[in-house]
Structure 1
Amino acid sequence: MLDGTEILTSAQMRALESRAMASGTVTGLQLMERAGSAVAGQIRLRWPVPGRVTVLCGPGNNGGDGYVIARLLHEAGWRVRVLGLPAPPGPDAAQMKDRWQRIGPILPLTRAELQQGGGPHLHVDAIFGTGLTRPPTGEIAQLLRHLAGFGGDLVAVDCPSGLCMDSGAMLGQSREDAQYLLRAGLTVAFDSPKPGHLLGLGPECCGRLVIADIGLHDWRVTGADDPPAAPRPLTEAIWPEFDIPDSRRPALSAQKQAQWLSRRGSGRGHKFSHGHALVIARGIGHGGAARLAARAALRIGAGLVTICPTGSALIEHSAPPDALMRKQVNDAEDLAKMLADRRITSVCLGPGCGIDRASDLLPVLLASARAAVLDADALTALAMDDTPFRGLHGNIVLTPHLGEFARLFPDLARRLTETPDSGPAYSKLDAARDAAARSKAVVLLKGPDSVIAAPDGHAAIHSAFDIPWLATAGAGDVLAGIITGLLARGLPALDAASLGTRVHAKAARLFGPGLIADDLPDLIPQVLRDISG
């Protein structure tokens, strides 16, 4: 599994390829040959016995890749059938088309012709790739509707045709009323994952995602004009966290996060050197969510964690863990007195807190300028305020799910639900970035495709479509506690939210199906050992 891999948008990918070709050290034809070779290699790896394959070639460079794939599979002993368009493609794709025509014919790219294939065999979708900006129409749309039923026997080049690679939306279709939804068994993309591979419908449509290096790495990292080294081996992305580069302030990489955890966990520091986190609880009978958050903050390594219910509920929190401190906070005045202690380095407000209580305590918390996680009821309390973002700052993490996001940012949420007529479509990444810029806080927009965005535009995506059992009551409270503990230890908000989301997902993967939220905190030590190596 990869961690901390950079994502490129469609425009960034085109610029990268142009920069590489402008250097004079690699040609478009060479890049096309490498791309086609990578896909053909993955097909041969997964289907080692040559069989029957239909390659569907579109009008652009994606179609050019398809002609390379057809030629190479033919040379490997496959029985290859190619469907394409009569219109001449660009110069590189035209050369690849010509090379294939020396081997075999090109049949019309129509639904009727596709249905003539007969019998079970593999299909390669090389119709539309990363650069698609408008919905497929006419004969191609009919063909894609038919192709949508092929499932595991479909290999997509770059992405399933029709999928916007900047958003994960199917252009011209709403998520609920999709006329067709291609679900590939395998998608092979090049150099870097794109946002659409990980957001929205992307994971559902792409199946197993493989990222193939075609020799662009040096230009992506440095923009150098020198020839890059030989392409690296293929790397597989199995829904990890990916970082989106931003020149202003890169977040901690996964490797640096591991080094940070190791460094902070060693040495001769005392408990306060690892931070003191407060977790605000509610009155009697409502303490479970706060206890989950507090346990998680302890397990992630905060030096002290104090749970703060009302005085009447203190007895409810007397059970283990004994390491957890308890102190009553009845009202805003009590919280202000506690926050006068500068050794308190972070606060978690929201899990099981109650909306009225969160509304009462929020002004004091914000006035203290402490690092904080605002979750659940605290987000609802914010949304009820006439000036919801007053007092927020860059060391606060907001953790809304889509429903809470819609209450806080209704205009952004509406844009997410609109049917995209052209690409790049408005994405969950765009929404999280816009929300962070507006609120001046870090926004963790939760879901199976979680997006973490900072006010300066830097962002990360963590895709967890492979762990559906994480959708369980209390899991979000644990995540809030993990992030609070990391904030207490001094990690900046973007990095705390990013690393916290990573630890949270790894713990869920480690346990597997049957997980309940109570299991997550006790898995954190094993996850930290794995991360720190």
Structure 2
Amino acid sequence: MPSHSNDTLPTSLFTAAQVRAMDRHAIDGLGIPGLELMHRAGTATFAALRRRWPDAKTLSVVCGPGNNGGDGYVIARLALAAGFDVRAYPVGPLERLRGDAAAAFAEYRDAEGPVLNFIPPGFEGAEILVDALLGTGLDRDVAGEYAAVIEAINDFPGGVVAVDIPSGLNADTGAVMGNAVHADLTVSFIGLKQGLFTGAGPAHCGEIVFDDLDTPPEVRLEQTPSSRLLRSGDFALPPRRRDAHKGQCGHVLVIGGECGYSGAARMAGEAAARIGAGLVSIATRAAHAALINLGRPELMAHGVESTEQLQPLLQRASVLAVGPGLGCSDWAKTLFDAAIASGKPLVVDADALNLLAEHPRSSDHWLLTPHPGEAARLLGLSAAEIQRDRFAAVTALQRRYGGIAVLKGAGTLIAGPAGVPHVARWGNPGMASGGMGDVLTGVIAGLLAQHLPPFEAACLGVRIHGQAGDLAASAGERGLLAGDVIEALRTCVNR
């Protein structure tokens, strides 16, 4: 399985406009010629693809009419000099090339590099295909000739390398602009673009390599990051004292488990216990309270049919996890309202989010953990609109509802009342199955119970949940169950 560790990448992420400003500062402020930066970008990309495919000897490069295409011509020239069988495929009239891109093309032609004005089937059987078609400035859906070329790239059976960003992917949002290249390797320059890491970005970028093109740190320090990438060492639980006891490790109360959905509350409770909460109780329907903990007797299950029965449990708990399997009945609404009125820290998920969407309110005491569909209901949008700009969505959620917002999905985003959103890369497609969100709810609640501040609990919870999913997926992604992730939590929280 590919590694999702972030520790080889910078933590600061930027918008496309910010990176263009960095590029301009390097050229105008520091006097680095634009063509020199282009040479460095091509050199970095060629070195990265040779590391990835050391035995390859045939290379095709698809070059657009802008500076991204100029990078492509540099790569083609370097490959030619290294003895590769090379083809360059310009898209759009060559006379549209200007400035540094035109100079890079001239250098390639002077080296007698082959240029083909059509794309043959399968790119003549090349081993590696370089996507230097479109850069980060894309502001409309790809159409016409460019859309057809992207289709041809995606039909290519060999390795695909994207220069700076896969063509058709929005550098700011991670959304696909009509169609986008599926790359195996993306080499990004100057500053990391935030769209590479969330939404459709992870599925289209493959392995991400960063190169600052030997520009000094001041180029990036002039820009305030638009978001940050979580590292494996960010945030941690302190070691337990030798004299610790369960009363010091918090008491999580899970509220949920409507008839037919007891498993959701059970999984959230078990996850809270596995992450280290001292005590875990479950307030659920009386009909199955006696059965819910048969396989996990450490959980204390209580049949609750009224707020009067819930009150003693609320008083004993230090953290509430509300929503797993809760439903939207009058019973659910009554318990949800009582949980909010308690003033205790809450993790709000699943059906509790749907109830919140019906009667919006704000609180500084909760963490909301919606998937895109739930986020859409909370913001009065469609799920597609949420995915079109996940950064805007998580920011809007936090501002409208307060507390901490966690927008789940590929490249989960965490936003708090201060600072910029954080992005997590851990997790895998095998986690696209029922119960994974219930596990995350329990994990975050269990970390809150152990006295982590809310934003830290959210970030650490998302990270450990994803790492546990990756560990559990070592036996294969397809067929991965939420219970498998729960089993891996203990290993990951103790690393």
Shared fold per TM-score greater than 0.5 = yes
Check the 8 A contact 1:151/1:182 in 2, yes or no: no
Q: Deviations over 1:474-503 (max 9, x none)?
A: 222111100111121222333322221221
1:349 aligned onto 2:338: no
| Paired amino acid for 1:77 | G
Instruction: Write the distance in 2 (CA, Å) between the matches of 1:354 and 1:482.
Output: 21
Alignment of 1:386-405 (within 5 A): 388=360, 390=361, 392-405=362-375
| 1-structure distance, mates of 2:171, 2:200 | 10
Question: Compared with structure 1, are the counterparts of its residues 70 and 495 closer, same or farther at alpha carbon in structure 2 (3 Å cutoff)?
Answer: same
Match for 2:327: what amino acid? G
The alignment partner of 1:87 has SS state of helix
Find the aligned partners of 1:400 and 1:56 in 2 and give their Cα distance. Answer: 40
CA gap 1:190/1:246 in 2 versus in 1, 3 angstroms: closer
What TM-score comes out, normalization by structure 1 length? Answer: 0.81
1:471 matched to which residue of 2?
432
Taking a change above 3 Å as real, the CA distance of residues 77 and 252 of structure 1, as seen in their structure-2 partners, is: closer
Is the CA contact 1:470–1:515 (under 8 Å) kept in the aligned structure 2? yes
User: Please, which moves more after superposition, 453-462 or 294-303?
Assistant: 453-462
1:29 aligns with 2:35: yes
CA 154–515 in structure 1, closer or farther in 2 if over 3 Å, else same: closer
Residues 329-350 of structure 1, C-alpha deviations (whole Å, 9 max, x = no match):
4322343444345xx3310011
Structure 2: segments with no counterpart, 5+ residues:
none
In the alignment, is the contact (CA less than 8 A) between 1:251 and 1:495 conserved in 2?
A: no
Shift of the alpha carbon at 1:217?
6.8
How many residues get paired? 482
Query: In 2, distance between residues paired with 1:450 and 1:116?
Result: 36
In the alignment, the residues of structure 2 paired with residue 523 and residue 60 of structure 1 have an alpha-carbon distance, to the nearest angstrom, of 48
Pairing 1:65-464 to 2, within 5 Å after superposition: 65-84=71-90, 85-87=93-95, 89-104=97-112, 107=115, 110=117, 112-114=118-120, 118-171=124-177, 173=178, 181-216=180-215, 218-219=217-218, 222-223=221-222, 245=225, 254-257=232-235, 260-261=236-237, 263-266=238-241, 268-282=243-257, 286-311=261-286, 313-341=288-316, 344-356=317-329, 357-385=331-359, 388=360, 390=361, 392-411=362-381, 413=383, 415-416=385-386, 426-456=388-418, 458-463=420-425
**Conserved in 1, the CA contact under 8 Å of 2:23 and 2:190?**
no
Supply the distance in 1 between the matched residues of 2:257 and 2:143 (Cα, whole angstroms): 55
Matched, 1:493 2:493: no
Map of 1:231 onto structure 2 = none
Cα distance per residue 1:8-54 (max 9 Å; x no partner)? 22122222333344442644333322211111112222333452322
RMSD after superposition: 3.0
**Inter-partner Cα distance in structure 2 for 1:362 and 1:322:** 26
| Partner SS for 1:507 | helix
Displacement of 1:267 after TM fit?
A: 5.3
Distance in 1 (CA, whole Å) between partners of 2:481 and 2:203 is 24
Q: Deviations over 1:86-130 (max 9, x none)?
A: 23545333332332232125736x5x3555953444321112112
Q: Distance in 2 between matches of 1:471 and 1:518?
A: 13
Q: Aligned equivalents of 1:468 and 1:515: distance in 2?
A: 9
Which ranges of structure 1 fall in alignment gaps of 5 or more residues?
225-243, 418-425
**Residue 424 of structure 2 aligns to a residue in which SS?**
strand
Match of 1:2 in 2: 5
Equivalent-residue separation in structure 2 for 1:434 and 1:115 (angstroms): 46
Deviation at 1:359, TM superposition (A): 0.9
**What is the rounded CA distance, in whole Å, between the counterparts of 1:338 and 1:121 in structure 2?**
63
Structure 1 residues 23 and 270, CA, compared in 2 at 3 Å: closer, same or farther?
farther
C-alpha contact 1:246 1:457 (8 A) present in aligned 2: no
Specify the SS of the correspondent of 2:405: strand
